[in-house]
C-alpha cells in the first residue's frame, strides 16, 4: 500500500473498523474512505456496486458485520445469517468487478468446529459441527472465506482472509443483552460498584477458556498482513494465550475496583468449552501482539467511563 492509496474500511464505526482507521492514520495513510450504514446500506448490492464504481478503492478492509454475543446470536439467527451473507457477498463481488488491488476479509474464531482440537489451527475449518448458539454467524463467515478463495481461484483476485480471536477495546459494545463477555463484565462490575451491590452474577460455570485480543493489536496485525501476506489460506490472529471466564471476571473485578462477591449462574449456557487460536503462522510471518490482558482491560475500562458512562 502506498500512503496515497485509496483504502476503503467497511465498518469503520465498529470496534475493529475504527481501530484499523486509527492504525492507518497513525501510519500516514492519507486517503481512507468510509461510509456510515445510513449513507450506504451494504446489504444493497446495487448501492455497493455504485459506491465502488464512483470511489474505485485500491484496498478494502472488510470489517463490516452484524455482531453480538451468545444471546444476540441465538435470538436473531436469521438476521445474523442474512445480513452478514449480503454484506460480504456485495463487497467481495464489487471489489472484483471494480478491480480493487487487494481485499482483506475479517472472520471470527467461531468458524471452527465446536469440539475441534486445541489450539485451533487454520486447517481445522470445516472438519466438524459448529457451536449451535452462533451457527448462523459462523456459516456466514465461512461463506466469506470461501468467497475470497473462489474469487482468487477463478479470477486471480488477491483476496485474503484473517480470523481474529475474541476482541475487546475502544468503541466496544456494552449492551448487556447483545455484547460479548468482556465488555459485559466491565459494565456489570462498574454498575455494581456504583450501586454498592453485594454481588455480580456471571453467566455459566466460569470454566470455559477464552482468548482475548486488544482491538488495536488486531488492527496492527491486519495492516501488517495487508502489506505482507497474499496467501490463499486464512490466517489466525490472536495471542495464543487463554484464561477461564472466572479468571477473566476476577481480573475485570480487580481493574474496576468492585469489592463484592462473584456468583455464577449455572442455568445459563457456557458456549464452546475452549477456543484458543494457534497463531504460529502469524508469528512466523512476523507479527506478535503487544497489549497484555490486564493492561488492555484497564484501557478499555477508561474508554468505557469516558464514552459510555457519561452518555448514560
Which residues are documented as binding site for NADP(+)? 11-17, 106-109, 141, 164-167, 180
pLDDT of residue 269 exceeding 90, the answer is no
pLDDT single digits (tens) 53-75: 999 999 999 999 988 777 778 88
pLDDT single digits (tens) 78-135: 999 999 999 999 999 999 999 999 999 999 998 999 889 999 999 999 999 998 888 9
Cell 490472536 sits on residue: 238
Catalytic residues: 137
- Say if strands 102-106 and 59-62 run parallel, antiparallel, or are unpaired: parallel
Instruction: Please state, in angstroms and rounded to a whole number, the distance separating the CA atoms of residues 66 and 82.
Output: 10
Q: What is the DSSP string of 194-251?
A: HTT-SEEEEES-S--EE-EEEHHHHHHHHHHHHHH---SS-EEES-S--EEHHHHHHH
Question: Per-residue pLDDT averaged across 188-204, rounded?
Answer: 94
Report which DSSP code applies to 130: P
Phi, psi of 291 (to 5 degrees): -95, 115
Q: What is the pLDDT of residue 73?
A: 80
Q: Cell triple for residue 295?
A: 493492561
Mean pLDDT of the chain: 95
Which residues are documented as binding site? 11-17, 106-109, 141, 164-167, 180, 188, 203, 210, 270
C-alpha 272: how far from its chain's center?
Answer: 17
How many C-beta atoms lie closer than 10 Å to residue 5's C-beta?
A: 16
Structural domain boundaries of the chain? 7-169+212-240+276-291
CATH code linked to domain 7-169+212-240+276-291: 3.40.50.720
pLDDT single digits (tens) 212-263: 999 999 999 999 999 999 999 999 999 999 999 999 999 999 999 999 999 9
Question: Per-residue pLDDT averaged across 145-167, rounded?
Answer: 97
Q: Where are the alpha helices (DSSP H) in 76-134?
A: 77-97
Q: The whole model's pTM is what?
A: 0.93
Phi, psi of 41 (to 5 degrees): -85, 105
Number of separate helices (H) and strands (E) present in the chain: 10, 13
Max Cα distance, the chain (Å): 61
Report which DSSP code applies to 304: I
Tell me which residue of 63, 29, 55, 6 sits closest to 222, measured CA to CA: 63
Q: What is the pLDDT of residue 141?
A: 97
Q: What is the pLDDT of residue 272?
A: 73
Q: What is the pLDDT of residue 165?
A: 95
Tell me which residue of 2, 301, 5 sits closest to 170, measured CA to CA: 301
Amino acid at each position: 500500500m502506498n500512503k496515497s492509496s485509496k483504502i476503503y474500511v467497511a465498518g469503520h464505526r465498529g470496534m475493529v473498523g475504527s481501530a484499523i482507521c486509527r492504525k492507518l492514520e497513525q501510519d500516514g495513510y492519507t486517503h481512507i474512505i468510509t461510509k456510515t450504514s445510513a449513507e450506504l446500506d451494504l446489504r444493497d448490492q446495487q448501492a455497493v456496486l455504485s459506491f465502488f464504481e464512483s470511489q474505485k478503492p485500491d484496498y478494502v478492509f472488510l470489517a463490516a458485520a452484524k455482531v453480538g454475543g451468545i444471546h444476540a446470536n441465538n435470538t436473531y439467527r436469521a438476521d445474523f445469517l442474512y445480513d452478514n451473507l449480503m454484506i460480504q457477498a456485495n463487497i467481495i463481488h464489487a471489489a472484483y468487478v471494480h478491480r480493487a488491488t487487494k481485499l482483506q476479509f475479517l472472520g471470527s474464531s467461531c468458524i471452527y468446529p465446536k469440539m475441534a482440537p486445541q489450539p485451533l489451527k487454520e486447517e481445522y475449518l470445516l472438519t466438524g459441527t459448529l457451536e449451535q448458539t452462533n451457527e448462523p454467524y459462523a456459516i456466514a463467515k465461512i461463506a466469506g472465506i470461501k468467497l475470497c478463495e473462489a474469487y482468487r481461484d477463478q479470477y486471480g483476485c488477491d483476496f485474503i482472509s484473517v480470523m481474529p480471536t475474541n476482541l475487546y477495546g475502544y468503541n466496544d459494545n456494552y449492551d448487556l443483552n447483545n455484547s460479548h463477555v468482556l465488555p459485559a463484565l466491565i459494565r456489570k462490575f462498574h454498575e455494581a460498584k456504583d450501586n454498592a451491590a453485594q454481588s455480580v452474577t456471571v453467566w455459566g460455570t466460569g470454566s470455559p477458556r477464552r482468548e482475548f485480543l486488544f482491538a488495536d493489536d488486531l488492527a496492527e496485525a491486519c495492516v501488517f498482513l495487508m502489506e505482507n501476506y497474499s496467501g490463499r489460506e486464512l490466517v489466525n490472529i490472536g495471542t495464543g494465550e487463554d484464561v477461564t471466564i472466572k479468571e477473566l471476571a476476577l481480573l475485570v473485578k480487580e481493574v474496576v475496583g468492585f469489592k463484592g462477591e462473584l456468583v455464577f449462574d449455572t442455568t445459563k449456557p457456557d458456549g464452546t468449552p475452549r477456543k484458543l487460536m494457534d497463531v504460529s503462522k502469524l508469528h512466523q510471518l512476523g507479527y506478535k501482539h503487544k497489549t497484555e490482558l490486564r493492561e488492555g482491560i484497564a484501557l478499555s475500562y477508561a474508554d468505557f467511563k469516558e464514552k459510555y458512562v457519561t452518555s448514560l
